[in-house]
Amino acid sequence: MSEEFDIWFRRMRRFMEEFDRMIEDMMREMWEPERRGKMPRRGYYYGFSITIGPNGIPRVREWGNIRPGIRPRIMEAVEPFTDVIEEPDKIKVIVDMPGVEKEDIKVRATEDKVVISAEHADRKYYKEVILPAKVKPETAKAQYKNGVLTISLERVEKKPKEEGFEVKIE
C-alpha cells in the first residue's frame, strides 16, 4: 500500500512541477510585448452562456479572447458574444461589438456561415457563426447601433409554423 502511495505522490509532484513551469511560461508570454516596447494587450476576456435548445439539450457558447484548456490560448482578436435567433422565414445573428465604428466592420455570408471581423484602434473582433439552416447570402442585411450588430438573412426553406389547438386553462 505504501509503495502505491509513493508512486502516486511522485506522479503528483511531477505534475505540479510541470504545472508551475507552464504558469511561468504563460506569465513570461503575457508580458513579452511590454518588454519589447510594444503596447501591452488591453485586456483578457472570457465568458460563456448556457441555453436549452428546443430539443432540451443544453448549449454552451463561449466568447472572449481566451480559450481555456490545460494551457489557455490568448488570441489577439476578441470573439464577441453572439446570439442566433431562428424565425420562420429568416435567421438573425446578433453580435455585441462595442468600441468600433460601422465602417470598421466586415461581414461575409455564405449559405451556412457568417464571418464577422472588425478592427478599430485597440479593439479587434473576429467571429465565425455556423448557421442552423441554409440561407440566401445575397439577402443579408446588417445594422450596427449602440455597439450591437444585427444581421438578418432569409432562409432557403421556410420553417413550418407550429399547428395545433390552443387549450384554455380553467
Residues 141, 151 contacting (CB under 8 angstroms): yes
Answer positive or negative: Cα dihedral of 46, 48, 143, 158: positive
Output the CA–CA distances (angstroms, integers) from residue 123 to 78, 80, 167, in the order listed: 8, 11, 51
Query: What is the structure's pLDDT at 52?
Result: 81
Side chain identity at residue 93, one-letter code: V
The class level of CATH for 75-155 reads mainly beta
Query: What is the structure's pLDDT at 132?
Result: 92
Q: What is the pTM of this model?
A: 0.62
Contacts of 74 (CB under 8 A, 6+ apart): 29, 30, 41, 44, 65, 66
Q: For the sheet containing 82-86, what is the strand order?
A: 82-86, 90-96, 148-155, 135-145
Q: What is the pLDDT along the chain (170 residues), one digit of tens a residue?
A: 678 878 888 888 888 888 888 888 877 776 665 555 554 445 677 787 888 877 888 888 787 777 667 677 777 888 899 999 999 899 999 999 999 999 999 999 999 999 999 998 888 999 999 999 999 999 999 999 999 999 999 999 887 666 777 788 87
CA dihedral (55, 113, 48, 40) in degrees, to 10, reads 170
Cell numbers linked to 48: 460563456
Residues 118, 104 contacting (CB under 8 angstroms): yes
Residues 151 and 135: their CA atoms lie apart, in Å, by 12
